[in-house]
Amino acid sequence: MKSVRKTLLVACSVGAIGVVMPIALVLWVIWQQTVIVEEQRLVELSQDLAAQTEAAIVDARSLLERLNKQEFEPCSQEHLLTLQNEALSRLHLRAIGYWEAADRLCGAGLVQGQRLTPQRASRIYDSGVVAWWPSPDTTAGDVALFLMRFGNHDVAIDPRLLITPGQLRDKRVALWVEGLKMSTYPEGAEFPEPASLPEGLLVDRERNQIISRISLGSVFPIEVVAIQSFEDFWDRYRLPLTTIAGIGLVLMLLWLILVWRYLNRQLSLEAALRSAMESGRVHAVFQPIVDLRSGRCTGAEVLGRWTEKNGDAISPEIFVPLAEKAGLGTKLTLTILEDLLRHLASCPDDDQQVYHLNLTEQDLALPEFSRRLRESLDRYNIAPERVALEITERALLDCDRIRQRVAELRQRGHGIAIDDFGTGFSSLSYLQKFQLDTLKIDKTFVDSLETESVTSSVIRPIIEMGLALNLEIIAEGIESIDQIKWLTDHGVKYGQGYWYSAPLNSAGFKAWCSEKKP
Amino acid sequence: MAMAVTLLAGCAGAPPSAPPPLEPEQPRSDPPVSTLTVIRAPEDIDTRTHALAEGDQAIDPQAVGYFMDVFRARVQRDLADTGIDVDPGETSVLVTFPSQIGFEFGSAELTAEAARLIERLAAILREYKATLIVISGHTDNVGDSNFNLDLSEARARSVAEYLAQSGIAYQRLMIKGFGSAQPVADNSTEAGRASNRRVELMLRLIVRRTASGLAASETA
């Protein structure tokens, strides 16, 4: 019983792994996908910001160039209107000024007279563009501005507006232009220097975040560092992931229950059969074989019967295939044989009845079986002629070794009968090739005698063939007097079936036979 | 860079060439300077600087950095790729004209090309008024040193007069001829001699004297 438990446990574990693995795989794939999607978003966002910044700066520069080329009277009404319009048409532009040397003569945005003249330019380009990155020196109204001057004009860009918070959701972003920090969101947040990060994506497991660094260098170097923490997007994807995990778990439990129940049934039945055979609860019963004309009992087909302690009988249709599948076929045959021999030993010596024992394919395949059969017969001192062996057609097919074994058994004196003839791969050739004694016509053919169905036309040639080969013919499953009549009319000598008797136990069979003796 | 112009005391005194009677366009400061000033002693520059620092063209001390940045950017932009060398310092910009693009051999006459370039420089200086322009002429060591001295001063004068004609006040202009006394390269090679034949314009920032009294412009 312990080994059964162990087998069950192993089987269930295998089943569980079989279910858990695909679910885990699905979850993993989904998680990977969400990470990829989020990473792509982060990269796209960074790229957008970089492009946006580059566009803003390029635009500012070309605006300055345009303003320098226009030939206004400096600080005329027309000039000031142009500056104002240009400033108002750009979201991120806070001011445009007209300068001569270090004097801001007029402009839009800043109060007249106010000017931002930071001590040191961040960049002076050969083109003549001078730029001041946001710093306390460029602060007006608490906003550190990005200043760019070219010729006589300058613009003041609000770097906060280069990053549009709407795009960001739960991400943090910092913007560098020319290696100098331009803007961050949220304002004042700490960021690692771009130079300390690899280009592209970095998964920072220590802090549970993804960092993307995008560099844009088409006009001038722009770096965007965007950071998203895992927690944020775990929050977003928790529901679908847990739902899938839950469904998976339920499916797995159902599967486990199914596997458990099936295996439990199979294994317990097998174990029960084994113990039934060992404790003698599987025994032989005898269905009489009768001379159809005289009604005399000529022998019996020996069948297995499994009776549980509580009296429940288990059908051979269940336990015979089970025994064969579990490799217990030969054990079953030998168990029944033992019972048969005990029965034979208790019969009077002058008895001439022949008992038909069913062999399984396994019996014939096992060289040992033939030896054990002989040993058993010897032990009880029973002549082999008393025990005929019933073999299915299938067992005889195409296997010389088995044919040889069958021939040996026949040599020893056993009668050889072909069981369920007509249901298998009936072929004339093997009937000739083998030395057989008896043909048993399957119950289905006998049944069909009354229904006139297609199969009924088959029985006639079978009988004729058997007679031609000089074989003894036994009809199985006789259930009516009409069948007996037809069979005897067509030369069939022997039969068995419920018309005569159901399978009987040893004593029952003896009684039945003595009653039938004339 | 400013040193190049200031430390020159020991030079042979050249006879002052007569300033051409050009009409000064608009004298601004209290002591009106209506002719071109030739530097006789290093202190002359300081004196003039101090005088200008009190004028209304001087730059506020807090805007010095800004002024220099945009000034430098402007000079670099407008004089790039002209053969003129621009060397920006903290409070000054040194602009060097090689003689081969400015003058015929042995002559103080400006070429048409030089006139065009100096006009360009004048446009900048008209906007960036808070500057003193110290112009110094230099030659190689070939030939008579007195001739060289005269030639160098004449060339400096040509440049200065052209600037004056272009609207730069005499007050902002000072000249000096050095002859071959201040070579910047080895006179034994032709390339070195070519480098030494030059006119330098030291554009010096003029910072307004504040109440605290000191001009912040001079580098020690």
pLDDT of residue A5: 65
Chain B residues in contact with A128 by the CB 8 A cut-off are 73-74, 76-78
Please provide residue A217's backbone torsions phi and psi, each rounded to the nearest 5 degrees. Answer: -130, 20
Interface test with A, best of B66, B76, B124 (most A CBs within 10 A): B66
pLDDT of residue B132: 94
- Fill in the amino acid letter for A328: L
**Is A99 close to B77, i.e. CB distance below 8 A?**
no
Radius of gyration, alpha carbons of chain A: 50
Q: Which of A187, A228, A219 lies closest to A50, judged by CA?
A: A219
Chain A residues in contact with B203 by the CB 8 A cut-off are none
Of B70, B72, B77, which has the smallest distance from its Cβ to A102's Cβ? Answer: B70
pLDDT of residue A383: 87
DSSP string, A139-153: EETTEEPEEEEETTE
Q: Tokens for B48?
A: 């003039």
**Is A117 close to B65, i.e. CB distance below 8 A?**
yes
Q: Is B129 on the interface with A (CB under 8 A)?
A: yes
**Is B74 close to A129, i.e. CB distance below 8 A?**
no
Q: Which of B70, B216, B77 lies closest to A116, judged by CA?
A: B70
Q: Tens-of-pLDDT digits for all 518 residues of chain A?
A: 455 667 777 777 777 777 778 778 888 888 888 778 888 888 888 888 888 889 999 999 999 999 999 988 999 999 999 999 999 999 889 999 999 989 999 999 887 778 899 999 999 988 889 999 999 999 988 889 999 999 999 999 999 888 877 777 778 899 998 888 989 988 888 898 898 888 888 888 888 888 889 888 877 788 899 888 877 777 777 787 788 888 888 888 888 888 888 887 777 778 888 888 888 888 889 999 999 888 888 999 998 888 877 878 887 888 888 888 888 888 888 889 988 888 888 887 677 889 999 888 888 888 888 899 899 889 988 888 889 999 887 776 657 778 888 888 899 899 989 887 766 555 666 676 778 889 888 888 888 887 766 566 778 888 888 888 888 999 999 998 888 988 998 889 999 999 898 888 888 888 888 887 65
pTM value? 0.56
Chain A residues in contact with B67 by the CB 8 A cut-off are 101-102, 117
- SS3 letters across A198-231: CCEEEEECCCCEEEEEEEECCCCCEEEEEEEEHH
- In this structure, chain B runs to a length of 220
Cα of B186 to nearest chain A Cα, Å: 30
Identify whether the C-beta of residue A383 lies closer than 8 Å to the C-beta of residue A413. yes
Chain B residues in contact with A152 by the CB 8 A cut-off are 127
Q: Tokens for A467?
A: 């007679």
Cα of B30 to nearest chain A Cα, Å: 23
Interface test with B, best of A103, A114, A123 (most B CBs within 10 A): A103
Nearest residue of B to residue A101 by CA position?
B128
Cα of A56 to nearest chain B Cα, Å: 22
Helix (H) or strand (E) holding A387: strand A387-392
Asked if the model's pLDDT at residue B25 lies above 50, the reply is no
Asked if the model's pLDDT at residue B154 lies above 80, the reply is yes
Average pLDDT of span B199-220: 69
d(CA A304, CA A340): 10
Neighbouring CB atoms inside 10 A of A424's CB total 16
d(CA B166, CA B154): 18
Q: Tokens for A429?
A: 């050739």
- Fill in the amino acid letter for A332: L
Of B66, B80, B129, which has the smallest distance from its Cβ to A117's Cβ? Answer: B66
Q: By a Cβ cutoff of 8 Å, what residues of chain A touch chain B?
A: 99-102, 117-121, 124-130, 149, 151-152
B145 versus A230: which is more confidently predicted? B145
Q: Tokens for B98?
A: 């090689």
Q: Tokens for B159?
A: 């440049």
Q: Tokens for B142?
A: 């070939």
State yes or no: cis peptide before A22, omega within 30 of 0: no
**Is B59 close to A149, i.e. CB distance below 8 A?**
no
d(CA B117, CA A387): 133
Asked if the model's pLDDT at residue B6 lies above 70, the reply is no
Q: Is B167 left (phi over 0), alpha (psi -120 to 50) or beta?
A: left
Chain A residues in contact with B86 by the CB 8 A cut-off are none
B69 versus A233: which is more confidently predicted? B69
Identify whether the C-beta of residue A406 lies closer than 8 Å to the C-beta of residue A391. yes
Least confident of A327-336, B9-18, B51-60, B104-113: B9-18
**Is B130 close to A128, i.e. CB distance below 8 A?**
no
**What's the sign of the alpha-carbon dihedral B141, B142, B147, B148?**
negative
pLDDT of residue A427: 62
Q: Tokens for A46?
A: 């960074």
Cα of B187 to nearest chain A Cα, Å: 32
Q: Tokens for A254?
A: 């159902």
Average pLDDT of span B185-206: 91
pLDDT of residue A424: 59
Q: Tokens for A363?
A: 């019996």
- In this structure, chain A runs to a length of 518
Residues of B numbered 35-64 whose beta carbons fall under 8 angstroms of chain A's beta carbons: which are they? 59-60, 62-64
pLDDT of residue B217: 41
Q: Is the ipTM of this complex over 0.85?
A: no
**Is A128 close to B74, i.e. CB distance below 8 A?**
yes
pLDDT of residue B215: 42
Neighbouring CB atoms inside 10 A of A147's CB total 28
The band of B211, judged by pLDDT with boundaries at 50, 70 and 90, is low
Cα of A151 to nearest chain B Cα, Å: 7
